Chains A and B, each alone.
Chain A
Amino acid sequence: GDSVTQMEGPVTLSEEAFLTINCTYTATGYPSLFWYVQYPGEGLQLLLKATKADDKGSNKGFEATYRKETTSFHLEKGSVQVSDSAVYFCALTDSGAGSYQLTFGKGTKLSVIP
């Protein structure tokens, strides 16, 4: 079945540091890939997405590129801020297999210190 593996946390960075959170996936069809974020005390919200190979999703300074050859969708940001402290979830939905379910990774907690 489909699965998502993302790097384990927690990750602690200083403000303005470079961020990478690794995510790899396994899917039988043609997945769309997502990063969701959960800020403290809030619900999950979509951060960015990519629906086909080589697409780059971007939002709020975060980027991720859909790499079919390496089955990866790593999240990056050039300069993190304290306000980026949150839990980040990589996820996929496999429309080619006729599925509408989101399959999530375990989440990576990011803490940014001033």
Chain B
Amino acid sequence: GAGVSQTPSNKVTEKGKYVELRCDPISGHTALYWYRQSLGQGPEFLIYFQGTGAADDSGLPNDRFFAVRPEGSVSTLKIQRTERGDSAVYLCASSLRGGSSAYTGELFFGEGSRLTVL
């Protein structure tokens, strides 16, 4: 597609349930990032993929959060045993190259997946 696509756009779930959020980056972009944006806050880094591997997952808040990118394109963010504090907009971004373009900050963001945990 022309831009970064994220599905679902909205997800409402109950506390304790499992959730998957999908990101389809711009074709040819090797770097993929997940950010989380809570209400009234700026986006916060979660994880960065270069190709298939997670180059940095230092932003994942705990072991309930996990992300994969098995073929170096689409990525899935997985949240187990959801908690009300996980409610936020989860943003995915991609860029053409890994470290070098990341240093220039030219990331292309999707519209986000809004997660609400009741």
Contact = CB atoms under 8 A, between A and B. Distances in A.
B83 interface: no
Interface string B79-109: 0000000000001010000110011111111
A32 B100 CA distance: 12
A55 to B, nearest CB: 12
A49 interface: yes
B1 interface: no
A51 B104 contact: yes
Contacts of B59: 101
Given A43-B91, A43-B112, A102 B3 contact: no
B105 A102 contact: yes
Contacts of A95: 103
Contact of B109 (A44, A51, A101): A44
A93 B103 contact: yes
A75 interface: no
B42 A4 contact: yes
Given A43-B111, A46-B106, A104 B43 contact: yes
Contacts of B104: 32, 49, 51, 93
A32 B109 contact: no
Given A42-B111, A43-B4, A100-B48, A89 B105 contact: no
Given A101-B56, A106-B40, 14 more contacts: A32-B104, A43-B108, A43-B110, A44-B91, A44-B93, A44-B109, A45-B109, A49-B106, A51-B104, A92-B105, A101-B45, A101-B102, A104-B42, A104-B43
